[in-house]
Structure 1
């Protein structure tokens, strides 16, 4: 997977948050513009459906707007809104698991994602683009095979680039639990990728982040 980099706070983000918490719609719209694509990419990787991801993002911003007056700033705004996004994504997966009727003949569709486009951008020939597109689709498919709690920490760590401590704050869990889940998630993902004969170099080694 190709890290996208975590959210970079706006120069005046704190001011925007304060204004939005007092009902300033323009300030809130500026926050939406800054985060909507990032949150969509996270939701998409969690639920593997573009329409569902869009619905989740709308739900996230609605909840954020309603809760902003009570936002005390104990954590960064980005941490706070990513937590809302992850919780909304996990809730969606729980509801879908209860209501979904599975068909062995139904194809699984994975929409274009930013990670897939990034892989394609490095390709030069048509053959390389086709191969890169296939690789991106397989990575998304394999990622969707992970249990949601493993998928969540892996997306935050290896795709969004958050540190273990930041993930602990976003997911509201202990640092030890985060490290354990990421370690297990990478091992599972590595085995799945090996089984599909996908380059294992895309799975990060735990040693590279142990000091984070």
Structure 2
């Protein structure tokens, strides 16, 4: 299938990214075997099931929602074009998030060679469409919510790369520790140790920002 056709399918599946839960009863592994046979409806269902979680992981690398959306599209494009490399004995989630992390790092490195984007340069409409932001109850709450998000994301980006990966996969991707170990190709003990360090490091980074992160 032509890349333009795949892009169209992706955009159609991602049209309602804020409401991404799939309803099909088929297992993820079964759907992926169908995708390997060229079943585009199964491919669309996989996108619907995983797009929100994958977006959140990608957002830990890219503050600009436009960049994150491009990486999200690249990730699912890679899922389809590399579908023959997935093996049923391998966790689909681990395989998928490894693709997402690699795509995020590749784009981050390319962007770092050029102009570094600033959150201030992101159009307000794009920020409001980010799927991990709840609708604010008032303009004041909206400002506080945006500031909390900015502080949290900046703190996560300051963590060492491996700690940031593991923290994002655990809490944004909602992956089990064993799946993270498989995705990153490291021992389970290493995952646990880095997750502990990441949480402790994040708490330390946010210690001076308690008022911003308070909901009172």
Which among 64, 79, 89 is matched to residue 79 of structure 2? 64
2: CA distance, partners of 1:18 / 1:107: 41
> 1:161: how far off?
2.9
User: 1:150 touches 1:185 (CA, 8 Å); kept in 2?
Assistant: yes
Deviations 1:57-82 (CA, angstroms, capped at 9, x unpaired): 12211221122123221223222212
1:137 aligns with 2:154: no
DSSP-derived class of the 1:75 partner: coil
User: 2:56 touches 2:172 (CA, 8 Å); kept in 1?
Assistant: no
1:80 aligns with 2:65: no
Could you tell me the TM-score, scaled by structure 1's length?
0.73
User: 1:20 touches 1:68 (CA, 8 Å); kept in 2?
Assistant: yes
1:117 aligns with 2:134: yes
> 1:165: how far off?
1.6
Which among 158, 165, 175 is matched to residue 152 of structure 1? 165
Equivalent residue, structure 2, for 1:40: 55
> 1:183: how far off?
1.8
Q: Which has the higher contact order (CA 8 A, sep 6+)?
A: 1
Q: 1:95 to 1:117 in 2, by over 3 A?
A: same
User: 2:57 touches 2:168 (CA, 8 Å); kept in 1?
Assistant: yes
1:15 aligns with 2:30: yes
1:172 aligns with 2:185: yes
Q: 1:153 to 1:9 in 2, by over 3 A?
A: farther
2: CA distance, partners of 1:107 / 1:17: 37
User: 1:43 touches 1:86 (CA, 8 Å); kept in 2?
Assistant: yes
Could you tell me the TM-score, scaled by structure 2's length?
0.72
2: CA distance, partners of 1:197 / 1:43: 25
Q: 1:191 to 1:200 in 2, by over 3 A?
A: farther
Q: 1:132 to 1:34 in 2, by over 3 A?
A: same
Structure 2 gap segments, 5+ residues each = 1-20
User: 1:115 touches 1:136 (CA, 8 Å); kept in 2?
Assistant: no
2: CA distance, partners of 1:38 / 1:200: 22
2: CA distance, partners of 1:80 / 1:145: 25
1:185 aligns with 2:198: yes
1: CA distance, partners of 2:147 / 2:47: 32
State the 4+ residue runs in structure 1 displaced beyond 6 angstroms: 199-202
Count of aligned pairs: 188
